Structure formats: structure tokens, C-alpha cells
Amino acid sequence: MRSVYVAGIGITSFGRLEYPLAEIAAYPAMMAMKDAGLTEVEQVYVANMGSGRINHQTGLASAVVDTLSLTPAGAEVIENGPASGASALKQGMLAVGSGMYDVVLVTGAERMREVNNLDATDFIATLTHPLSEYVYGVTLPAHAAMFTRLYMAKYGVTERHLAMVAVKNQNQAMTNAFAHLQQRITIEGILDSPEAMTNNPYVAEPLRFFDCCPVSDGGACLILVSEDAMAGVDRPWVRLAGVGQATDTHAVAERTDPTELTAVRLAAERSFAMAGCGPADVDVAELHDAFTILEIAESEEAGFFGKGEGHLALEQGETCHGGSLPINVSGGLKGRGHPVGATGIAQAHEIVTQLRHEAGARQVDDAAIGFTCNFGGFGNNVVCLTFIKER
């Protein structure tokens, strides 16, 4: 397979956006084209999960390619739940790597705040097993809460550890102008003060309000190109070096040990194997912290820390900005926001920004290898990406 490079990147502000979904997808694409200095694209992939259901719009790729005046480029929507973004990047990599195209634009967008929070939660819950989960009222917060309970019992993770992740990521988001949450929080305010239980009530015990990511609108884009095309681009050379994907049982109850996120482990291993590096080589990572517990668990399954030791690394400050492995310096899903279809691309956007050394106040020193984990379903379809800065 040919080498695949990131020529351009773009992103919208995350939060509540008041323009149409196709424009949420197109705006970061225009930024990415400007960033790369490219005006022609052969193929467009649009990552999106819910346009048909929550925005009453199908055929989104056709709308986006036309909005961008990129016709007659090929265009498809890639839907893989909350992992749609990284899945679309995988397709982009295959398209360029195979030699079929030289310039592929991968944009992701979601406009979730078109509906209220209850409808948004229900929409996400449609990815659960229809007969053994959804029909009984299982939602993603409920899944994550049950997972957290087991994790606490097995590994000694406490609510304080979860709050530490929430504070770390939400406060880190304040260094990211594109992030949804621009509100500082403290352990005192969400855990220790007499008012903490009201400020930070249980959503699905033991998960509290600040353990959950916000519902966001947003878009992000990467332009992937061949080595030949990259030669004409005046931007740092960041290579999409590894893609790993793995699936697990649709129903969580069918897993031998529900605390094992096997798909994360396998996807990470495959991504690292393809890139020719390992977890110890990674300088900065963006993990799918839709719920705070997931950052801890994924940091273990990806091989950064031993199983059951992620919360200990957190205690030591290893995952903070300035630590041995900064995780979610963008704010993560928790702070930057989680427009589901765009999230995987937003994670990649952050890593490329870091590897280009253009992240400003949140820049990780000497970042050369970056990693993302985009977690679909409740761990039943996971895509991991590894990026390497070449020059």
C-alpha cells in the first residue's frame, strides 16, 4: 500500500451551531483545502451518524460535495456509529493507499442539538442491541454506568478518579478555542463542596453529570493525499501510518468479561503493527472519553498502562499536559464535545495539529507520534489511528 499523508485539516467550533448540516460538513472542508492549498479533490467521504434520523436529511454526501462545488468528485457517507469519523479516515486511507485516488477529502459532521437531549440520548441508544438492550431502555450512559461499577469493584477506581478525568479534560478544553465547554470546573465544585451533589448529580450512578460528554454540533476534516500529491503541499509531513479496527459482540452481556474492551485492544495492536511502532513510542493520544471511565479503560487497553493501572497513572499526573503521556489535551469528547460523526476526525485533527507543533498553549513538547481511539457502540466497533510526523 502507498504511504498516505495529511495535507490539510479544518474544524468548526463545537457546541450549538446554527447553520445547516451540509454546511457544518463543508466549512471545515474549506478550511482544510485552504490549509493544504488544494482546490481539486477526487473523492469525498462524509462521516455522519444521524442526519436521516435527527436532521431529516439523507444523501448527505451529495449535498456536501455540491456545497463545496467539488462535483463531479465521488462522494459517500460513512456511518459507523460514534466511530464514523475514524472509519471514514480508514476508507480515505484505503482509497489513497490503493492508488485509486491521490486526493481524498474526509469530513465529518453532526448536528445533534437540532433535537433535545432526551431525543439525542435515544438516537444514540439506537446503536445498542435492539432485542436485548434497547427494548429494555438501555442507553449509553446506562451501559457506561454498569461498566464503571464493575471497573470500580475490580480495580479500585473511585468517583474521585472519574472527577479527576472530568476536571483535567474540561479545563484542558479552555486552551482549545474550538471546544464546546469553556467553563472551568474544580474537584471542590463537583465532588467535595456541600453543593457538589446538586452541581454534579448522578446521571446513571455512579456516573455523574460531569462524567458525561456534552451533546454537540460540529464538523472536522482531513485531506489525505499520496506522497506525490504531498510533494506539492507546503505543510509539515504527517503520515497516517496505521489504522486498526476491531469489533466485539453487539450485546455487551454476551462478552466473557464485560470489563475487557477487547475491540480497543485489538484495534490498537493492529494500528501500531501497521505503523511499525508501539504504545511506548506515542507522545500524545486522543481517547474516546464519552464517559470519564472510558479514558481510563482505553488507556489500559491501548497498552499505555497495565490493565487496572490507568487510574494510578492518572493519580500520578502522567496523562496530564506535561505528563509522560498527555491524553486528550484538546479537551477530549468531555470538553471539546462529541458530535458523533465528526468525533473521530476531530481527534485526528488534534493529533495532526500536535505533530505539526501548531497547538499553542496545549502543545505537547516534541510530539512526533500520535494516537487516536474512536470507540463505536459500547466497544463493539473500534477504530484506532496512528500518525507519525516525518518532516
| The three grid cell numbers given for residue 317, joined into one nine-digit string | 499526573
Q: Which of 196-204, 245-253, 290-298, 325-333 is the region at the interface with another protein (rule: CB under 8 A)?
A: 196-204
Residue 199 in the binding site for another protein (CB under 8 A): yes
Q: Is the CB of 139 or the CB of 262 nearer to another protein?
A: 139
| The three grid cell numbers given for residue 225, joined into one nine-digit string | 493525499
- What minimum distance in Å lies between the beta carbon of 209 and another protein? 8
Q: Is the CB of 190 or the CB of 355 nearer to another protein?
A: 190
Residue list 1-30, contact with another protein (CB under 8 A): 18-20
- What minimum distance in Å lies between the beta carbon of 82 and another protein? 22
Q: Is the CB of 13 or the CB of 262 nearer to another protein?
A: 13
Q: Total residues contacting another protein (rule CB under 8 A)?
A: 26
Binding flags for another protein, 236-275, as an x/- string (CB under 8 A): ----------------------------------------
Q: Is the CB of 43 or the CB of 170 nearer to another protein?
A: 170
Interface residue with another protein among 193, 247, 249, 259 (CB under 8 A) is 193
- What minimum distance in Å lies between the beta carbon of 298 and another protein? 25
Q: Is the CB of 158 or the CB of 183 nearer to another protein?
A: 183
- What minimum distance in Å lies between the beta carbon of 84 and another protein? 22
On the 0-12 / 13-18 / 19+ scale of CB atoms within 10 A, 199 is middle
Interface residue with another protein among 37, 100, 177, 195 (CB under 8 A) is 195
Residue list 345-364, contact with another protein (CB under 8 A): none
- What minimum distance in Å lies between the beta carbon of 49 and another protein? 17
Ordered DSSP codes for 279-309: GGG-SEEE---SBHHHHHHHHHHTTSS-TT-
- What minimum distance in Å lies between the beta carbon of 117 and another protein? 8
- What minimum distance in Å lies between the beta carbon of 267 and another protein? 34
4 vs 238, 244, 271, CA distance in Å? 9, 15, 14
Residue 185 in the binding site for another protein (CB under 8 A): yes
Query: Hunting for cell 462524509 — which residue is that?
Result: 46
Binding flags for another protein, 114-143, as an x/- string (CB under 8 A): xxx--x------------------------
Interface residue with another protein among 122, 125, 134, 189 (CB under 8 A) is 189
Interface residue with another protein among 11, 77, 190, 246 (CB under 8 A) is 190
Interface residues with another protein (CB under 8 A) are 18-20, 56, 113-116, 119, 183-186, 188-190, 193-201, 210
